[in-house]
Every structure is written in structure tokens, then in C-alpha cells.
Amino acid sequence: MAASCVTKVELTISCENLLDMDVGSKSDPLCVLLMNTSGNQWFEVDRTERVKNCLNPKFAKKFVVDYYFEVVQKLRFSVYDIDNKTVDLSDDDFLGEFECSLGQIVSSSKLTRPLVLKNKKPAGKGTITISAEEIKDNRVVNFEAEARKLDKKVECYDYDNDGSHDLIGIFETNMKRLQEASRIKRNRKRKIIRTLESEYTFLDYIMGGCQLNFTVGIDFTGSNGDPRSPDSLHYISPQGVNEYLSAIWSVGLVVQDYDSDKMFPAFGFGAQIPPSWQVSHEFPLNFNPANPFCAGVEGVVEAYRMCLPQVKLYGPTNFAPIINHMARFAQQALQQNTASQYYVLLIITDGVITDMDQTRGAIVAASRLPMSIIIVGVGKADFTDMEILDGDDGRLRSVTGEPAVRDIVQFVPFRKFQNAPREMLAQCVLAELPQQVTSYFRYINLSPPHEPKQS
């Protein structure tokens, strides 16, 4: 699994029209930031300075937090009127609070929302504005090297399109030595350092207006078992859960923060559907081909619950149709002249793929498009083929030998996380997505729709 995509984000806070709690003067506000990443435990991250006699403060102190794409990082901004020098806030007047996720903030870049009291009623006309900015050094060094008899440390390869790169040699150095050597050799024909350029980061694309379009594909094949039986993978427990629903919630709650309209297409495959009872491998869960969209993760869950008793589980387990369905939309996005759209397909399945050759071809073709595929395997089936699609052990190829231009598939077995907190599944399957997004847009040399703020 790829290393987690973590970076520092700086949050700037301002408020307007705060409640005036002081007699003879105005409130002296201070903002406290709390974070929650699991369960119900909140911890304090930091607090701003106190601004005296001000109902429209622009706090000078900024909050700096670690940002993880694959984690739902809940934030609570609480504003207090500070009338003493103690750290304890229990004896200070509460002016209002606002809760959201860090994902919501970075996908908006700037967010203004009303403050509410502890009872969730409006805190007068008070509002809070949160601006996000990535703290980074995203410069990339491009250099030309000419060397003889060097210690073999830096690896140089002869590039091949099929991924079988040949090692040429190795040497070791550092940035300072390269820059010094480049200055020394400035009068010679070649320079060691050619350019020092900036590359867009994942947050540059997100804050610059790139939308992640989320689609769900659910396995309705007969190997899941009769949904009315407690042994079925589609059986919904009295607590209202099963492995399919857990996967939808886990992944969907993270990705939805990066889609402005939060309308998600949801499809099933491998079932006989009414009224003809023909087997379909890409039917909308709401049975509306003209509008397969569901409102948020809750809408996907509701569509799944409504669909389940209306279809007959059948087979076989074919992935290619639903991958190709999404690829058609991603293909249209190639007409974009900025990095405005990227597609994420979540497939949840219980069994062995029966159209492996077609699926491999579909994934290889999709590797040239702005899309990624997440596969969650539920149940106890043999998922060896899924590991092949993942491509972590070697570049995926179609049956004709054509290689994928990049790795776009991430597979995990659900049962590996069955006894772990729900957010752990999302952390695993989404960890590679930021790199997949940036690698694609760099591959076709697209910039964000608008330039993000520079720190």
C-alpha cells in the first residue's frame, strides 16, 4: 500500500456579528479548534489569540493541521468571550460553534457558515469564515548529469513503456552539492541542474476546483446467498448493517466531501431485474437509467435497500460492463482543458470474476482516463484474481499484452477490517487515490481550473 498522503494545511479564521456578552464594552473573542477522527473523542488542537472588544475578529494566529485524504477529520470551531487569563473555558461565555470536516474545507478552499449554540439554535447573526491553504514546497528538480567513476548510489534506469526498466547505474549526492556543482560548471556546455520547477499537489487540484465523481457498483450474484437468510452477505441485520453497507458508508463518507453536488450514480450487476427478468450487469439501483443518481451516501444506501427485494440474485460476476460504463463518462472528461473532473468507481463483490480477460482490458483502457477503481471483496471467496488487478506485484496487462499506463486499482478484502473501526477500511483503500489523481493530471499536463493560493 502506498504511504499515506499527508500534508500540512493552514486554516485562517475570522468571524462576523458575534454575540455581545459584555456590559459596557464588546466581547473579547477567542476561537478554539477541536478535532475528532474516530468515535466520540474530541481533542483540542489549538486556540487563537484573544481579540479585545471586537464582534468581527480576524484572528492573526492560524491553525496548522495534518491533512489526510483517506480519513474523515471532523473539526469543531468554538468561539468564546474571554474575560480572564485562565486556560479553563468553562467560566467563559460561549459565543457559538461550527462543525465540519477538513475535507469540506479544503474542497471549498474558503467556507463561511453560521455559528450555532450548544442547543443548535442560531448564535444570533454570527458567522465564521475558514480559509484553507496548503503549506508546501512542491518544487521539482530537473537535472542533466554527466559523470565518471562516481560512487554508485543514485539509481538511473533505461525507461521502457512496459515497465521493465533496465538499471544503468547508481550514484549518491544531495541538493546542495548539485546546486554548487551547477554554479561551478555554469560556463561549461552542460549544467547539472537544468530547472527547478513547481508541481501541482493533490490539494492544489482539489482547492483549485477539481471534483471527484463517485460511483458505486454492487454485486447481486447468486453466490451472495438468499438475502432473507442470515447467512447471506446481503442479509441486513436487525442493526441495519451488512458488509456491503459497511463498505459503502466507509468509503462514501470520505469521498463525498470532494463532490460539490453529492449526487452519486449507483449500479448493480449480476441480477435478473424486472420486468423482463433478464440478467443485467449495469442496472441502476433506482431502476431509472435516465437518472441513476442518489443524493449522498444516504441516498445510495436507501436505493440499495429498496432494490434488494426487487431483483433476483443470479450471475455471472462480470466487472467489465460497469467499468466500461464509467469509462465512457471519464472519456468525455478528456475534452476538458483543465483538471476539473476525476472519477472514482467503488465495486463491492463477493466472488471470483468470470470475465477476467474483458476486465483486464477494460482496466488497461481506463488507465489512460481520469478514473480510479476501488474493489472491496466481501465474504470468504478466493480473491487471488483481485490481487492481479491491483497491479502492486507487477504491471497489469490486457490479454493482448498491452500494459496499463498507470496503476488505477486498489483491492482490499473486507474481512481484514471486520473487527477494526469502520474508518480503517477507508484509510486502506483510499490511501493511493491522491497519488493516482496527481499522476494522471501530470501525465496529460493539466492544471487546476483555477490557481490555488500560494503560501
- How confident is the model at residue 155, as a pLDDT? 75
The model's confidence at residue 384, banded by pLDDT at 50, 70 and 90, is confident
- Which CATH number do you get for residue 210? 3.40.50.410
Spatial distance between the Cα atoms of 260 and 39, rounded to a whole number of angstroms: 26
| Claim to verify: residue 29 and residue 60 sit in the same structural domain | yes
* Same-domain status, 265 and 405: yes
210 and 172 share one domain: no
Q: What is the pLDDT of residues 118-169, one digit of tens each?
A: 999 999 999 999 999 999 755 455 555 565 655 546 777 765 545 556 677 7
Q: Residue 120 domain-assigned?
A: yes
Q: Which of 135, 157, 182 is the last residue of a domain?
A: 135
- State how far Cα 322 lies from the chain centre: 21
> Helix, strand, or coil here: 85?
coil
Rounded average pLDDT over 53-66:
97
Query: Mean per-residue pLDDT for 421-433?
Result: 89
> Please, how many CA atoms are within 13 Å of residue 54, restricted to the half-sphere of its CB?
15
pLDDT at 362: 97
What local confidence, expressed as pLDDT, does residue 4 receive? 46
Which residues are CB-neighbours of 66 under 8 A, at least 6 positions away? 6, 7, 8, 9
Q: What is the model's pLDDT at position 2?
A: 43
Contact 85, 69 (CB under 8 A): no
Is the same domain home to 357 and 424?
Answer: yes
Is the model's pLDDT at 170 over the cut of 90? no
Residues 185 and 241 in one domain: no
Output the pLDDT for position 281.
Answer: 96
Same domain assignment for residues 222 and 278? yes
Do 192 and 209 fall within a single domain? no
| 318: nearest Cα among 249, 267, 242 | 267
Question: Is the pLDDT confidence value at 1 over 50?
Answer: no
Range of the domain at 37: 6-135
Same domain as 410, residue 310: yes
User: Highest-confidence range of 36-40, 48-52, 151-155, 183-187, by mean pLDDT?
Assistant: 48-52
Read off the CATH number of the domain in which 118 is found. 2.60.40.150
**Residues 231-287: pLDDT tens digits?**
999 999 999 999 999 999 999 999 999 998 999 999 999 999 999 999 999 999 999
For the beta carbon of residue 371, count every other beta carbon within 10 angstroms. 26
Percent of the chain with pLDDT over 90: 70
Q: Which one is predicted more confidently, 311 or 186?
A: 311
Quick check: 90 pLDDT over 70?
Answer: yes
Task: With respect to residue 53, please indicate whether it lies within any of the assigned structural domains.
Answer: yes
Whether residue 3 is predicted with pLDDT greater than 50 in this model: the reply is no
The predicted structure's pLDDT at residue 306? 96
Which range, of 3-12, 64-73, 106-115, 429-438, averages the lowest pLDDT?
3-12
| Same domain (yes/no): 151, 224 | no
For residue 24, the model assigns a pLDDT of 76
Amino acid at 188: R
Query: Residue 194 to residues 173, 178, 181, 424: CA-CA distances in angstroms?
Result: 16, 10, 12, 43
- For 336, the grid coordinates are 476538458
What's the rounded mean pLDDT across residues 425-437?
92
Whether residue 278 lies inside any domain: the answer is yes
Within a domain: 452: no
Q: Which residues pair with 71 in a beta bridge?
A: none
For residue 84, the Cα-to-chain-centroid distance in whole angstroms is: 42
- Residues 185 and 237 occupy one common structural domain: no
> Where is the domain boundary, 198, 214, 235?
198
Q: Per the structure, how many domains does the chain have?
A: 3
Q: What is the signed CA dihedral for 337, 259, 35, 9, rounded to 10 degrees?
A: 0
Domain co-membership, 237 together with 286: yes
- Whether residue 451 lies inside any domain: the answer is no
Residues 230 and 378 occupy one common structural domain: yes
DSSP secondary structure letters along 109-130? SEEEEEEE-TTSSEEEEEEEEE
Beta strands per DSSP E along 117-192: 122-135, 139-143, 154-158, 166-171
Exposed e or buried b for every residue in 271-284, given b needs 16+ CB within 10 A? bbbeeeeebbbbbb
Q: Is residue 448 one of the residues assigned to a domain? A: no
pLDDT of residue 193 exceeding 60 = no
Q: Is 221 helix (H, G, I), strand (E, B) or coil?
A: strand
Final residue belonging to a domain, choices 100, 115, 135: 135
Residue 455 lies in a domain: no
311-357 pLDDT, tens per residue? 999 999 999 999 999 999 999 998 889 999 999 999 999 978 999 99
Q: Does residue 453 lie within any of the structural domains?
A: no
pLDDT at 85: 84
pLDDT beyond 60 at 188:
no
